[in-house]
Structure 1
Amino acid sequence: MNARAEASNSRLDTVKLAVAVALLVGGIFAFYFFADYSTLLRVIGLLAIGAAAVAIALQTARGRRLWQFVGDSRAEIRKVVWPTRQETMQTTLVVMAMVLVLGIILWVFDSILMSLVRFLVGRGG
């Protein structure tokens, strides 16, 4: 009995997701079909249809899992200790200095290797 109920819920979820997708596709089609009407009205209509599609999609198991994931993500973001402005500036300056130093080192190595190749080939030096 339980497997039958799960299969029924799965089919119902599939139907709900199909209806949500059909609403979105229909809303986008209607947005361009009614190009003669005000853009504001078309955008409001598209937003309303989109909200209805999201509301239908959230009634499925996948939609509930997605909503739970969003909530968990927001909770984790609140736990992050963000760097202060001073820490950000110091880190940025260190990165810029290291890029400059490594750029100079690579330029020196390139110049040395180019001079060596020119000497070996016999084209100047």
Structure 2
Amino acid sequence: MNAEAEATASTLDTVKLGVSLLILIAGIGGFYQFEQESLLLRVIGLLLVAALAVFIALQSKPGKSVWSFAVESRTEVRKVVWPSRQETMQTTLIVFVMVLLLGIFLWLVDMLLAYILKVITG
């Protein structure tokens, strides 16, 4: 009985996602179909249709899990300790200096290899 209930829920979720996708496709098609109308009205209509599609998609189990993931991600980002301006500037300066030194080193190695190749090939 439980497997049958899960299959029904899964089928219902698939239907919800399919309807959501069809509504979104119809909204995009309507946006281009009514090109003689004001751009502002078409954009507002498209945003409303997209909001409806998202609302329907969020009613499914995968939609709820995506929403939950987004909320948890936002919570985790708030916990991050961001570097100060001074730390950022110092790290950026170190990166620039190291890139410059590595570029000069590789340029010298390239010149040496070109010289050796020139000596070998005459």
TM bracket, shorter-chain basis: over 0.9
Partner of 1:70: 70
63-72 or 105-114, which deviates more: 105-114
The one-letter amino acid of 1:45's match is G
Cα shift at 1:112: 1.5
Coordinate RMSD, CA, aligned:
0.9
2-11 or 54-63, which deviates more: 2-11
Cα shift at 1:14: 0.9
The structure whose Rg is larger is 1
Cα shift at 1:10: 1.0
Partner of 1:47: 47
Partner of 2:79: 79
Task: Give me the whole-angstrom Cα distance separating, in 2, the residues matched to 1:113 and 1:8.
Answer: 69
Task: Give me the whole-angstrom Cα distance separating, in 2, the residues matched to 1:109 and 1:18.
Answer: 59
* Higher RCO structure (Cα 8 Å, ≥6 apart): 2
Question: 1:54-97 deviations in whole A, cap 9, x for unaligned?
Answer: 00000000000000100111011111111111111111110110
Counterpart of 1:22 in 2: which secondary structure? helix
Partner of 1:91: 91
Spell out the pairing of 1:20-31 with structure 2 (5 A cutoff): 20-31=20-31
Question: 1:83-116 deviations in whole A, cap 9, x for unaligned?
Answer: 1111111111101101111111111111112112
Runs (4 or more) in structure 1 with deviation over 2 Å come to none
Q: Do structure 1's residue 57 and structure 2's residue 57 form an aligned pair?
A: yes
Task: Give me the whole-angstrom Cα distance separating, in 2, the residues matched to 1:12 and 1:119.
Answer: 75
Counterpart of 1:120 in 2: which secondary structure? helix
Q: Which runs of 5+ in 1 are unaligned?
A: none
The one-letter amino acid of 2:34's match is F
TM, length-normalised to structure 1: 0.94
Q: Which runs of 5+ in 2 are unaligned?
A: none
| Aligned residue-pair number | 122
Cα shift at 1:41: 0.6
Counterpart of 2:24 in 1: which secondary structure? helix
